[in-house]
Chains A and B, each alone.
Chain A
Amino acid sequence: MEAAMQDPAIRITGMNKFYGQFHALQDIDLKVERGEKIVICGPSGSGKSTLIRCINRLEEHQSGTIEVMGTSLDDNVDHIDEIRREAGMVFQNFNLFPHMSVLDNCTLAPVLVRKTPRAEAEETAMRYLERVKIPEQAHKFPGELSGGQQQRVAIARALCMNPEIMLFDEPTSALDPEMISEVLEVMVGLAKEGMTMVCVTHEMGFARQVADRVIFMADGRIVEEAPPENFFNNPQNERTKTFIGQVMGH
């Protein structure tokens, strides 16, 4: 256990991912310390989603190693389960379960996976729903909420599993502009409390405010990796420069 305390949150070494013949991720090396906040950006199709989906085995990598909280991600089902319990994920399209109330969305996994007693799970769920500022929606169905509210429920649902790491895949990209800030606000709050976060996002303001490191990907590779000040003010790679120009341009 003592050794485990020193393990980084995520350690990826020499990882490759293929979709059939297509080499989607090439020689990825990435280490995320506990409590660190990483923002991943890059052009469309560069492999950002694929990378964070490999971390909890929504996609399978073909070579190299991935370790999450000291557990190595291999074909051992127990390891996969353990990693999924430790890593919460928030999707672009929310992916709430439409046939369950907001509260049931939040208690399902704790009750089924962590075997938390229902009453306790509901208490926890209400606490997190309060934190994302929608306790009054607990008994509604997802379809009755706005996009921003749904995404906040999705964050609360992931937090209810009490994860060590939160993975975000473009959490604000499907939202109307006026709802983006309410979701970002929740994410900033989470960052301040010391959550380990890996966020794929194009919200550069968010990156500047909370990221410890910004990672730029292109064509399945990590092209540049730097703290936000350096990344935005002094990018090294040509592609990074073009990309920053585009994102900042408007």
Chain B
Amino acid sequence: MSVPSPAEISRQPFPKLLKDRYFATRIDTIVTVTFGLLTLWLLWSFFEWAVLHAYVDPEDRDACVQSEGACWAVITARWRIVLFGLYPFEEQWRSALACLAIVLTTILSCLPSFWTALRLSLLWIVGFAAFYILMRGGILGLAPVSERDWGGLALTLFIFAAVVLIGMPLSIVFALLRRSNLPWISRTMGLVIDTIRSLPLLTIMFAFAVVIPFATPDWMNGQQLYRVIVGYAIFFACYQAEIIRGGIQSLPAGQEEAAKALGLGYWQRVGYIILPQAFRNALPPTINQVVITFKETSLVTIIGFFDILASGRAASGTGEWSFATIEVYVFVAFIFFVFVFSLSRYGAYLERRLGVGTR
């Protein structure tokens, strides 16, 4: 019996296609039916919980407590705490606009037409300036809001964007130093990278937030938030540097030799030949690293920052809504999902796009 190729299968009429793919043998049928039923049952249970038996109106709080369903009422009542944390209530529109500024900047910088060093730097300078002015205030008639009161989604996005933006160039520098021809430079860099990678992120954040101010003069310290970002960016850079180094090492030696033979200098070889190809090779692990970085921003809660996870906990932290933690976590999880899933899809798009030249 000849097995039809996938292309052949997809050209067949639908019922036949279904049969070939899922009911071809007795075992296939059993597996399909079992997992089909299991999936249906899970979906149905979730649907029952999340929609059928759910309450949305905050007035229904008491009914909620009795019910088996989800109590989305907690979100309706407290979503502003989840999204904006401790940011002053009257000013929360600023925080919303600031989120929008970061998201918009990120989306724009994902578009190939912005991929020149000049455009990207301009874009991010404008983006961060807009974010900072909106969040911090103190000019343009905006009431000042201290970094200590920033929170929720805006804080999470800010930390993430700043860490990746500082960390990425830093990682390139680290990777190049690590590959230096001078043994004492490459060894020192290797030692630094391995040391920082062997420490937990939390330790690094804690060190930058709490310990460093004791060790350095006051003028160097700045706001705790920025110190944490710098620490996190260095941590990110150490991992990313090894990813980039891997990408560089997977290039055939002939690439650099050909560039040398043409008379290109070190920075020209790095900028035009090595890095573009290394980044393309290292794209999947890079996307992975960026996604992990987004998710691990929530570690800043432990040093007392109100990122979106912490403010979510605060939203169900009052006695009134303390029974509804699951709903809040589902809501926060959904927000994380939207961002992380978009990042992954964008990564997949990039891989396809950059793959074109290789064939």
Residues 51-92 of A, flagged 1 when their CB comes within 8 A of B and 0 if not, give: 000001110000000000000000000000100110111010
Known: A141-B356, A143-B357, A144-B359. A99 touches B261 (CB 8 A): no
Q: Which residues of B contact A109 (CB under 8 A)?
A: 262-264
Are the C-beta atoms of A56 and B261 separated by less than 8 Å? yes
Known: A108-B272, A112-B272. A99 touches B277 (CB 8 A): yes
B6 CB, min distance to chain A CBs, angstroms: 25
Max chain B CB contacts within 10 Å: which of A99, A100, A158? Answer: A99
Residues 248-260 of B, flagged 1 when their CB comes within 8 A of A and 0 if not, give: 0000101101111
Are the C-beta atoms of B357 and A108 separated by less than 8 Å? no
Q: Nearest residue in B to A85 (C-beta to C-beta)?
A: B263
Q: A137 in the interface, Cβ–Cβ < 8 Å?
A: no
B282 CB, min distance to chain A CBs, angstroms: 13
Q: A18 in the interface, Cβ–Cβ < 8 Å?
A: no
Measured in the bound complex, the distance between the Cα atoms of B258 and A89 in whole Å is 8
Residues 276-297 of B, flagged 1 when their CB comes within 8 A of A and 0 if not, give: 1100100000000000000000
Q: Nearest residue in B to A144 (C-beta to C-beta)?
A: B359
Q: Nearest residue in A to B251 (C-beta to C-beta)?
A: A98
Q: Among B262, B272, B280, point to the contact of A84 (Cβ < 8 A).
A: B262
Q: Which residues of A contact B198 (CB under 8 A)?
A: none
B107 CB, min distance to chain A CBs, angstroms: 25
- How many chain A residues have a CB neighbour from B under 8 Å? 28
Q: A156 in the interface, Cβ–Cβ < 8 Å?
A: no
Q: Which residues of A contact B358 (CB under 8 A)?
A: 98-99, 141, 143
Q: Which residues of A contact B260 (CB under 8 A)?
A: 56-58, 84
Q: A97 in the interface, Cβ–Cβ < 8 Å?
A: yes
Q: Which residues of B contact A87 (CB under 8 A)?
A: 261
Q: Which residues of B contact A108 (CB under 8 A)?
A: 262, 264, 272
Q: A26 in the interface, Cβ–Cβ < 8 Å?
A: no
Residues 134-159 of A, flagged 1 when their CB comes within 8 A of B and 0 if not, give: 00000001011000000000100110
Q: Which residues of B contact A91 (CB under 8 A)?
A: 254, 257-258
Q: Nearest residue in B to A143 (C-beta to C-beta)?
A: B359
Measured in the bound complex, the distance between the Cα atoms of B258 and A191 in whole Å is 22
Residues 28-55 of B, flagged 1 when their CB comes within 8 A of A and 0 if not, give: 0000000000000000000000000000
Q: Among B257, B262, B268, B357, point to the contact of A98 (Cβ < 8 A).
A: B357
Measured in the bound complex, the distance between the Cα atoms of B319 and A20 in whole Å is 75
Q: A237 in the interface, Cβ–Cβ < 8 Å?
A: no
Are the C-beta atoms of A113 and B262 separated by less than 8 Å? yes
Q: A161 in the interface, Cβ–Cβ < 8 Å?
A: yes
- Number of inter-chain CB pairs below 8 Å: 71
- Tell me the residues in window 233-269 of chain B with beta carbons closer than 8 Å to chain A beta carbons: 252, 254-255, 257-265, 268
Are the C-beta atoms of A112 and B268 separated by less than 8 Å? yes
- Tell me the residues in window 76-132 of chain A with beta carbons closer than 8 Å to chain B beta carbons: 81, 84-85, 87-89, 91, 93, 95-100, 108-109, 112-113
Q: Which residues of A contact B280 (CB under 8 A)?
A: 99
Measured in the bound complex, the distance between the Cα atoms of B261 and A87 in whole Å is 8
Q: Among A84, A97, A112, A144, point to the contact of B261 (Cβ < 8 A).
A: A84
B267 CB, min distance to chain A CBs, angstroms: 10
Q: B273 in the interface, Cβ–Cβ < 8 Å?
A: yes
Are the C-beta atoms of A58 and B262 separated by less than 8 Å? no
Max chain B CB contacts within 10 Å: which of A84, A112, A154? Answer: A112
Measured in the bound complex, the distance between the Cα atoms of B264 and A154 in whole Å is 16
Q: Nearest residue in A to B354 (C-beta to C-beta)?
A: A99
Measured in the bound complex, the distance between the Cα atoms of B263 and A227 in whole Å is 32
Q: Nearest residue in B to A83 (C-beta to C-beta)?
A: B263
Q: Which residues of B contact A81 (CB under 8 A)?
A: 263, 265
Residues 338-359 of B, flagged 1 when their CB comes within 8 A of A and 0 if not, give: 0000000000000000001111
Measured in the bound complex, the distance between the Cα atoms of B265 and A100 in whole Å is 18
Known: A58-B257, A99-B280. A157 touches B265 (CB 8 A): no
Are the C-beta atoms of A89 and B261 separated by less than 8 Å? yes
Measured in the bound complex, the distance between the Cα atoms of B359 and A91 in whole Å is 21
Measured in the bound complex, the distance between the Cα atoms of B258 and A202 in whole Å is 22
Q: Among A57, A93, A143, A158, point to the contact of B262 (Cβ < 8 A).
A: A158
Q: Among B254, B259, B261, B276, point to the contact of A93 (Cβ < 8 A).
A: B254
Measured in the bound complex, the distance between the Cα atoms of B10 and A207 in whole Å is 57
Are the C-beta atoms of A95 and B257 separated by less than 8 Å? yes
Are the C-beta atoms of B263 and A113 separated by less than 8 Å? yes
Measured in the bound complex, the distance between the Cα atoms of B268 and A109 in whole Å is 9
11 A-B pairs whose Cβ atoms sit less than 8 Å apart in the complex: A56-B260, A57-B260, A84-B262, A91-B257, A93-B252, A97-B277, A98-B358, A99-B280, A99-B358, A108-B272, A154-B258
Hey, which bits of chain A sit against chain B, CB under 8 A? 56-58, 81, 84-85, 87-89, 91, 93, 95-100, 108-109, 112-113, 141, 143-144, 154, 157-158, 161
For the complex of A and B, 4 pairs with smallest distance between CB atoms: A95-B258, A95-B254, A109-B262, A89-B261
